[in-house]
Amino acid sequence: MGLIQNILAVIVVLGLLVTFHEFGHFWVARRCGVKVLRFSVGFGKPLWSTVDRHGTEFAVAAIPLGGYVKMLDEREAPVPEDQLDQAFNRKTVWQRIAIVAAGPIANFLLAIIAYWALFVAGTTTVAPLVGDVTPNSPAAEAGLAHGAEITSIQGDAMRSWEEINLKLVSMIGFNGDLMLEVQPEGSNASRVYQLPVANYMVRQDPPQPLQSLGITPWRPNVPAVLGQVIDGQAASQAGLRAGDRILSLNGEPVNDWMQFVSVIRENAGQTLEVDYQRGDEQGSLSLTPGRNPLESGGEVGYIGAGAQQVAWPEELQREIRYGPLEAVGQAVSRTGEMTLLTVDAIRKMLVGLISPSNLSGPITIAQISGDSARAGMEAFVGFLAYLSISLGVLNLLPIPVLDGGHLLYYFIEVVRGRPVSEQTQAVGLRIGLAMVGTLMLMALYFDLMRLW
């Protein structure tokens, strides 16, 4: 069932992203007087198609991993003389720039719409209280204490762990004192702590913003009860089900979820004897955690299961909600922040601050799509917005075959006063295909490594 949900979720996500992206190209092309021959969501043989009064074929194809808008163009096929004025290549360079740029812009607009909906509907977060502080860590050296609420980082206000993680991820490679403003437990006064860091999270796989500082978020006591079990993973194969309470591992009592996770992580590939309770009955079984290799060496165990959710104290819950007009500004601001974060992450990956093993391909996207869909509409819409921004940014990279590569050619044409030669574009196309193909293979490889 989990696999089917993942597949359906990723089809919905990619379908929406591709449709918006291609509609951006389509809408602007129509406004510029270009004849659109086909608007396809997906590649390969059409599963459904129809033709409108303008002669445009709208199709849904079998492979839902992209899409395209095919326009009348003399470079691809002969064009009747009476339709030359509708050919893409006959339009002015600024019209061609507008048509090509419209796809990524549509993705940014989709993200704004998604964030606007979230802000109007309201999102519920929890206060970012510090739980445990790891000895000899930057947080411990600065004197950060249990129960303190983090209110700002480097002068930027923080309201949730999500905002804190995004801020910290943006600081990968930072050297110096990280400024945290907190409100100590039982006090209304704020205090500033300076956390000394060097090469913060450089090449971590995956990045661990809070753990790198020695901070564990405060959480209510979570019992060792399985909330979800992923089909095909170790927990499911061993016979565990959602709702099972873990009583002991190898005869040692398990008191809470974190203790359970700690033992699992320390026993990759080692068979454990598990005592559990299911309803009024108790049972035992053998569980062998899978192996998850770390880039730094070694491996940790995992079983493909999550904890049952517990209720947070009402006084620690925070609702973030805006009116329809105010939400527009907030949505634009959040989209801008996420866009800059994505661009900065690409830059840091190119200079070696972020490990390329953090690349995600279709398998990881499918898993996260399914997880976010199961977590609720708020998580799903938030993931949709983030992925839409990522698609927009990636398409604007100056790589031939991507929208950004075409825009690069057109801006060169603006400067030179004449188009880039067909021969140069053909060479660029081959280079672009090689680069994109290499990135796709790398992402798929890292997907499979994470899966195994």
3-state class of 133 per DSSP? strand
Q: What DSSP string runs through 376-430?
A: -HHHHHHHHHHHHHHHHHHHTSS-TTSHHHHHHHHHHHHHHSSPPPHHHHHHHHH
Cα 285 to its chain centre, rounded Å, is 36
Beta strands in 171-254 (DSSP E): 176-183, 191-197, 215-217, 226-229, 245-249, 252-253
Of 22, 149, 163, 181, which one is the catalytic site residue?
22
Answer for the pair 303, 289: CB distance below 8 angstroms, yes or no.
Answer: yes
In single-letter form, the type of residue at position 265 comes to R
Q: Tokens in use for 226?
A: 């399985």
3-state secondary structure 32-83: CCCCEEEEEEEEEEEEEEEECCCCCEEEEEEEEEEEEEEECCCCCCCCCHHH
Answer for the pair 150, 130: CB distance below 8 angstroms, yes or no.
Answer: yes
Q: For residue 296, how many other CB atoms are within 10 A of its CB?
A: 9
Q: Tokens in use for 205?
A: 């796989």
Q: Which residues pair with 2 in a beta bridge?
A: none
Answer for the pair 193, 199: CB distance below 8 angstroms, yes or no.
Answer: no
Q: Which residues pair with 300 in a beta bridge?
A: 292
What's the CA gap between 57 and 48, in Å, rounded?
A: 10
What's the CA gap between 348 and 355, in Å, rounded?
A: 9
Task: Report cis status (omega within 30 of 0) of the bond before 324.
Answer: no
**Quick one: CA torsion of 115, 117, 122, 128, rounded to 10 degrees?**
-10
Residue 281 annotated to the active site: no
3-state class of 296 per DSSP? coil
Answer for the pair 448, 415: CB distance below 8 angstroms, yes or no.
Answer: no
Catalytic residues: 22
